Structure 1
Amino acid sequence: MPEVTSEPQEKPTTAGPEVAKDRQVLDFALWLTPRGAERYAWRERIEAVAKLLGGPVFAPHVTLFGTFRRSVPEALVLAEALSRDLAPIPISGAGLGIGADPWQALYVPLVVNPQLWRARRRVCEVLDAEGAADFMPHLSLYYGDAPTVQKCQAVELLEPLPVIDWCAQELVLVTLGDRPERWSTEAILPFRG
């Protein structure tokens, strides 16, 4: 993982391709992720649903903030600052939600507890972004546009209905691509708040 300083470092314009990458503006997201056995169990569920419905396989996560655009150094500085401000966040939820939006097609809705709400507000402040009030935290199990009937079949596959009860300990900075297979982890930053 690259070292993060308080300010992005300027590189000489004669450095070649590295300069272009550092200055290229990309789409990023900030995630909270389960660890260990919890992560493995959610990954298995996501893979099973993807196999049944033909969707992508992706890392289990809760999106703390969706798409924002920055250069890699700028995004790293922001994520590092946020990780210093944030403390562990209890993540809990139960049941399943089925939606028409391909990005919220099948998911576990989460409880918006005070710690999660404060983290979302803080991210919006740091990014100078609207959207704190529009927060609908969830852990997605499927992305795609399968018919509702097929999504209901996937629910049967997931029974007993999943329960989420873990504590987020780190902020994950993800570079977004045009589809989940192209998403990549830029940094995993432990909370220090």
Structure 2
Amino acid sequence: MAHETAFALWLIPGGAPAARLEELIEALARETGGPAFAPHLTLLGGLRGDGGALAAKLGGLRGDGGALRPVALEARGPATGSTRHQCVFLDVTPSEPLTALRRAAEAALGANANEAPFRPHVSLVYGELPAARRKELAADPRVLALAHEVWWADRIELWAVAGQTERWRCLEGVALERR
């Protein structure tokens, strides 16, 4: 893989909540003309290097007790941002298990995640929409219905995220093991 390709490490929610998120993301993509994408929380973004080497390092990722455990992702309500990938999203409570997993991932991948302060969130819409449209989407009853849910991330995946969203692909994934 090319050294200049961009990568991101995602936490993937599982089960019925993931299906609801996916359905909403796809519906909002159709309505806004934006891309659909897999439901995820970006644990680390802006990773650079060789995809194969990063994928191999992901396999060595371990939590404090050895195996990686599922992490609760507690939504805190809808929000909007000013960037394409933070157009409309659900903020997620920055819990200690989530923060610890991020630190472990940084150490395992040799990453420096100082690109921006960590703001855990689950994006619902990608795009460059006017502020009024973003606010309208954030107030949509379908979005509000998810605003205080708790999802369990049961998988961590390394994604190649260079270029158009439709071309992004998962390179490697690791299941987060229940006790």
**Structure-2 residue corresponding to 1:173:** 158
Compute the displacement of 1:52 (Å): 1.8
> How many residue pairs were aligned?
171
Compute the displacement of 1:133 (Å): 7.6
Q: Structure 1 133/146 Cα, relative in aligned 2: closer, same or farther at 3 Å?
A: closer
Distance of 1:42 and 1:191 partners within structure 2: 19
Q: Structure 1 148/172 Cα, relative in aligned 2: closer, same or farther at 3 Å?
A: same
Q: Which residue, out of 140, 148, 172, partners 1:156? A: 140
**Using CA pairs below 8 Å that are at least 6 residues apart, which structure has the higher relative contact order?**
2
**What stretches of structure 1 of length at least 5 have no aligned partner?**
1-20
**Structure-2 residue corresponding to 1:27:** 6
Do 2:46 and 2:115's aligned partners in 1 also have CA atoms closer than 8 Å?
no
Q: Give me the TM-score of the superposition, normalised by structure 1.
A: 0.80
The range that moved more, 148-157 or 33-42, is 148-157
Larger Cα-atom Rg: 1
Matches within 5 A, 1:69-148: 69-83=48-62, 86-126=68-108, 127-131=110-114, 134-148=117-131
Distance of 1:164 and 1:67 partners within structure 2: 28
Distance of 1:73 and 1:93 partners within structure 2: 33
Do 1:112 and 1:137's aligned partners in 2 also have CA atoms closer than 8 Å?
yes
Aligned-residue identity in percent: 28
**Structure-1 residue corresponding to 2:176:** 191
Distance of 1:125 and 1:53 partners within structure 2: 38
Compute the displacement of 1:157 (Å): 4.9
Q: Structure 1 83/48 Cα, relative in aligned 2: closer, same or farther at 3 Å?
A: farther
Q: Give me the TM-score of the superposition, normalised by structure 2.
A: 0.85
Compute the displacement of 1:61 (Å): 0.3
Compute the displacement of 1:138 (Å): 0.1
What is the identity, as a one-letter code, of the residue corresponding to 1:76?
A
Compute the displacement of 1:109 (Å): 0.1
After superposition, the C-alpha distances for 1:87-111 in whole angstroms (9 at most, x for unaligned) are 2211111310011111111000000
**What stretches of structure 2 of length at least 5 have no aligned partner?**
none
The range that moved more, 120-129 or 98-107, is 120-129
Instruction: Give the SS at the match of 2:149.
Output: strand
What is the identity, as a one-letter code, of the residue corresponding to 1:74?
A
After superposition, the C-alpha distances for 1:13-37 in whole angstroms (9 at most, x for unaligned) are xxxxxxxx4xx32321110011122
Do 1:124 and 1:130's aligned partners in 2 also have CA atoms closer than 8 Å?
yes
Do 1:83 and 1:171's aligned partners in 2 also have CA atoms closer than 8 Å?
no
Q: Structure 1 185/83 Cα, relative in aligned 2: closer, same or farther at 3 Å?
A: farther
Do 2:13 and 2:155's aligned partners in 1 also have CA atoms closer than 8 Å?
no
Q: Structure 1 186/159 Cα, relative in aligned 2: closer, same or farther at 3 Å?
A: closer
